[in-house]
A = this chain, B = another copy of it.
């Protein structure tokens, strides 16, 4: 013992910076390799420290993943909080949420996959802070639906939670290939398509399910045209009758 050749070099940093470094390194490694293929030693190396130091700030590897994911989520929510508050109109709000979620996946596909695969399937997921964050995040949709129903602009028989599930489930399925680095998706078009689809399911019968402010749909137009032609024809009839 004690024949250490290399002098021990201690690099003291403020705890926050250390934690930040570690989480950044961990996020990268986890994203690149997935959870179980990521080694604590790799993460330490990337963070420029030794393995033991990680354990001063994180209980274990799982805790590290957990907190990386939480950090990511908090960041995600914070980045949209202000903007979301400024959005007016239900369609726009739904579209905003959907777009934002799709954009997050595009930005961090690896992390998205990790959360879905590793954390959400954990048996203790519901006891997790991540679960709460996720729930709050997703419940923005529930809230919109609930209020719309109360205001009478949405169908009263739509289960708000199911809308949430279909929105986020749909997004996940649609982007699954991308998260696995196999496919791609168009951000705007996908956001539009999903929003429209949900929108139509929410609006009551008879109401136009077109996006607010856009042109009414073909059947309406067809019927309207027919009606106008009929009126025209009536007038023609009258005219020809009156001008024999």
Q: Which residues of A contact B (CB under 8 A)?
A: 1-3, 14-16, 113, 116-117, 120-121, 123, 125-126, 155, 157-159, 162-166, 168-174, 176-177, 180-182, 190, 193-194, 196-198, 200-210, 216-223, 225-226, 228-230, 232-233, 235-237, 239-240, 242-243
Q: In the docked arrangement, what's the CA distance between A3 and B158, Å?
A: 49
Please, which residues of chain B bring their CB within 8 A of the CB of A221? 219, 223
Q: Provide the residues of chain B in CB contact with A197, threshold 8 Å.
A: 158, 162-163, 166, 201
Cross-chain contact of A171 among B169, B209, B210 (Cβ < 8 A): B169
A194 to B162, CA, bound (A): 8
Taking CB atoms, residues of chain B closer than 8 Å to A200 are: 155, 200-203, 205, 209
Q: Is there an interface contact between A170 and B166, defined as CB atoms closer than 8 Å? A: yes
- Whether the pair A225, B222 counts as a contact (CB closer than 8 A) is yes
In the assembled complex, how far is the CB of residue A65 from the closest CB belonging to chain B, in whole angstroms? 15
Question: CA separation between A210 and B206, bound complex, in Å?
Answer: 10
> Which of B15, B174, B207, B242 touches A169 (beta carbons < 8 Å)?
B174
Q: Which residues of B contact A237 (CB under 8 A)?
A: 235, 239
Minimum C-beta distance from A20 to chain B (A): 13
CB proximity of A213 to chain B, nearest CB, Å:
15
What's the nearest-Cβ distance from chain B to residue A150, in Å? 15
Can you list 7 contacts pairing A with B, beta carbon distance less than 8 Å? A2-B14, A155-B200, A162-B170, A172-B173, A200-B209, A229-B229, A232-B233
